[in-house]
């Protein structure tokens, strides 16, 4: 028997024994080392996704670990290989898949939401979901590859180009990662974030950050851009005010990339879209090229993973870590240590 963190009801998690399933054809058994807790995990914890998540459910999709066993017909992987997982399983038959957009399959199995996730000591997944990690990357830092892949996809969807002015509204983990990836693409970036702690972390990562309470953000953007407005804005806050800010800062033919999941419809200044010929772009998940790019960015230090990891807790303390994240405070990213890191990192 191994241990797993399970969602059992709204605001209720437990750590319980879980059966290890031997890998079948095309599958691989992994020993997760570290698993990040993300905003979607918190939505599940709050009970907001009960219509989709069947309790008891093992959570977690931001992970790093090592191969333990390979099933029949699996080639290219062997025990000990360091890996992360692109947690998507698609049907290859729906209209989205047939158009080459498997990551937004209309019948998508998001592993860790729709099926058991990584917050356990043994985890069996399709070999096709594995992404190789270089041995030079410590497994704790590698747990940030999945959210970095989100940021890579978002920056790609917004078509950020060198020299452009970019405003990121929301300086949580994904917002900071988007800002770092956009900066790596050659953009000039400003992050808007009300939390003093998160502003400090972003500044320590080399980013320029504005406190929305300290001044009118659209006015700051006008002065920064010589009255031109931003080329791209990312809405990562999930708040109605964040939507307003992201729209107002954009210049003529600016692009608004919607990243945050808004639980209810928002009012949007459509006149602004008409007047300035703005473009709204949705961004969801990632594809394999985004993951591979994310591995490179974490490995070469473009993503300062050590600064973004606030705390590492053992598997048995994961329920308390969810409560700490819910309470807010001086926390950016919490990792759950599944007890399988044999690298000594």
Q: Is the pLDDT of residue 344 over 50?
A: no
Please tell me whether the overall predicted TM-score, pTM, comes out greater than 0.95 for this model: yes
Phi and psi at 169, nearest 5°, equal -95, 105
Residue 139: predicted pLDDT: 98
Q: What is the model's pLDDT at position 124? A: 98
b/e map 115-133, b = 16+ CB within 10 Å: ebbbbbbbbbbbbebbbeb
Q: What is the mean pLDDT of residues 167-189?
A: 98
Query: Are 235 and 191 within 8 A, CB to CB?
Result: no
The two beta strands, 333-337 and 309-314, are parallel
Q: What is the pLDDT of residue 345?
A: 42
State the Cα angle at 123 between 119 and 125, rounded to 5°. Answer: 120
Catalytic positions:
40, 43
CA distance 315 to 66: 17
Cβ count within 10 A of residue 94? 16
Nearest CA-CA partner of 59 in 119, 125, 9, 135: 119
The pair of three-digit structure tokens given for residue 213, joined into one six-digit string: 């309470």
For tokens 């790019």, the residue is 293
In the prediction, which pLDDT does 330 show?
81
Which tens digit of pLDDT belongs to each residue from 132-143? 999 999 999 999
User: pLDDT tens for residues 113-124?
Assistant: 999 999 999 999
Residue 324 has what pLDDT? 85
Residue 172 near residue 148, CB atoms below 8 Å: no
Position 260 pLDDT exceeds 70: yes
Residue 322 has pLDDT above 60, yes or no: yes
Q: Which range, 23-32, 262-271, 319-328, is most confident?
A: 23-32
User: In the chain, what percentage of residues exceed pLDDT 70?
Assistant: 99
Give 145's pLDDT tier (boundaries 50, 70, 90).
very high
64-90 pLDDT, tens per residue?
A: 999 999 999 999 999 999 999 999 999
- The answer on pLDDT for 196 being more than 80 is yes
pLDDT digits 0-9 by tens, 16-37: 999 889 999 999 999 999 999 9
Confidence of residue 212 (pLDDT cuts 50, 70, 90): very high
């Amino acid at each position: 028997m191994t241990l797993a963190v399970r969602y059992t009801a709204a605001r209720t998690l437990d750590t319980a024994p879980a059966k290890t399933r031997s890998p079948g054809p095309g599958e691989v058994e992994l020993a997760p080392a570290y698993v990040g807790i993300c905003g979607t995990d918190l939505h599940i914890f709050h009970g907001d996704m009960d219509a989709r998540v069947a309790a008891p459910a093992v959570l977690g999709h931001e992970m790093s670990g090592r191969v333990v066993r390979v099933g029949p017909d699996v080639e290219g992987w062997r025990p000990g290989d360091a890996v992360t997982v692109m947690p998507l399983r698609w049907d290859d038959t729906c209209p989205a898949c047939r158009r080459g957009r498997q990551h937004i399959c209309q019948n998508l199995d998001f592993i860790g939401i729709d099926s058991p996730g990584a917050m356990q000591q043994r985890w069996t997944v399709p070999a096709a979901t594995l992404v190789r990690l270089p041995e030079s990357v410590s497994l704790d830092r590698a747990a940030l590859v999945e959210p970095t892949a989100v940021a890579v996809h978002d920056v790609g969807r917004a078509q950020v180009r060198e020299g452009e002015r970019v405003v990121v509204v929301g300086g949580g983990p994904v917002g900071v990662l988007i800002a770092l990836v956009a900066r790596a693409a050659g953009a000039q970036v400003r992050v808007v974030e009300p939390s003093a702690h998160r502003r400090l972390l972003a500044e320590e990562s080399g980013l320029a950050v504005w406190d929305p309470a300290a001044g009118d953000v659209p006015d700051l953007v006008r002065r920064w851009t010589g009255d031109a407005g931003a080329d791209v804005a990312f809405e990562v806050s999930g708040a109605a005010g964040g939507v307003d800010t992201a729209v107002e800062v954009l210049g003529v033919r600016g692009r608004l990339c919607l990243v945050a999941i808004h639980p209810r419809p928002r009012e949007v200044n459509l006149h602004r879209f008409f007047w300035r010929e703005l473009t709204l772009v949705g961004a969801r998940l990632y594809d394999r090229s985004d993951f591979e790019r994310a591995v490179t960015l974490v490995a070469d230090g473009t993503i300062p993973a050590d600064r973004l990891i606030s705390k590492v807790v053992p598997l048995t303390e994961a329920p308390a870590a969810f409560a700490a994240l819910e309470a807010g405070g001086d926390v950016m990213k919490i990792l759950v240590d599944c007890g399988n890191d044999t690298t000594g990192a």
